[in-house]
Structure 1
């Protein structure tokens, strides 16, 4: 192996280590709840540093659902027990309406009461569907025994 090939191999290895380190840093930092907004039985939770994987998001919900209930009264089921909790990536701050695809909150004064739509996770409960989790267009359901399975119908 020539010296030039060794240098390239070392550079590729170092780049891989940097990428792996960055991914580990992203996946290990704690999620932060920035704010909560309500619209009937729908709750919108604005988060930073939310888990990246489907399993991480579901596990985060299971671990933190009682904290969300106690600190933010989330979820807020309707009279039939149905609820929806949508987790949105907060970004750096609230924004003005101006842009096309923004979600604005009526419980705040304008003009800075909107966020860019960057949904990261949804939790729903309904009588027929039970508890379900939606991540990146994949749906997972919790069975009566607590087992979580991917919905294969989508």
Structure 2
């Protein structure tokens, strides 16, 4: 009996360590920006390896927003200052429109100009609300006047 419980404890510890290692590896992979598509004051950013948590996504944006502005010219605000940036999972890559629910980009002049709709995160700035972070699998947040991140309730 004691040997069996020791073996089970060893197996659970091993599985836990492997799972913890995998989660650590997932969190340390760099975000890969595949492409940026723009129309007016809207930017669609196709990504791989995006952070898994709302906190990680917001921190990644705050850390990389200047680099993204310099390299990809995003955000591209309207004359009155509003903008929206959508981060989409690149997934299976560009595909033909087909019957599936896909987002297509008119700036690509080939048949394979669509991606599967898997919206991960959005950043929206408006005159009324300021900067908001919209997480499609979690909560929404607002950037406060002092730089603090405030969780807001969806209505």
Say whether the fold is shared (TM-score over 0.5). yes
**Cα distance in 2 for residues equivalent to 1:92 and 1:70:** 28
User: TM-score, normalised on structure 1?
Assistant: 0.94
User: TM-score, normalised on structure 2?
Assistant: 0.94
Give the structure 1 partner of residue 58 of structure 2. Answer: 58
**Cα distance in 2 for residues equivalent to 1:59 and 1:133:** 11
Count residues with an aligned counterpart: 154
C-alpha distance after superposition, 1:101-126 (max 9, x if no partner): 11111100231111111111100000
**Cα distance in 1 for residues equivalent to 2:24 and 2:99:** 33
**Cα distance in 2 for residues equivalent to 1:9 and 1:48:** 36
Judge conservation of contact 2:100–2:116 (CA < 8 Å) in 1. Answer: no
CA distance 1:5–1:30, shift in 2 (3 Å): same
CA drift at 1:153: 4.9
**Cα distance in 2 for residues equivalent to 1:81 and 1:4:** 66
Instruction: Give 5+ residue unaligned stretches, structure 1.
Output: none
- Residue 114 of structure 1 pairs with residue 114 of structure 2: yes
RMSD: 1.3
**Cα distance in 2 for residues equivalent to 1:5 and 1:145:** 54
**Cα distance in 1 for residues equivalent to 2:44 and 2:138:** 18
CA drift at 1:11: 1.0
Q: Which runs of 4+ in 1 moved over 6 A?
A: none
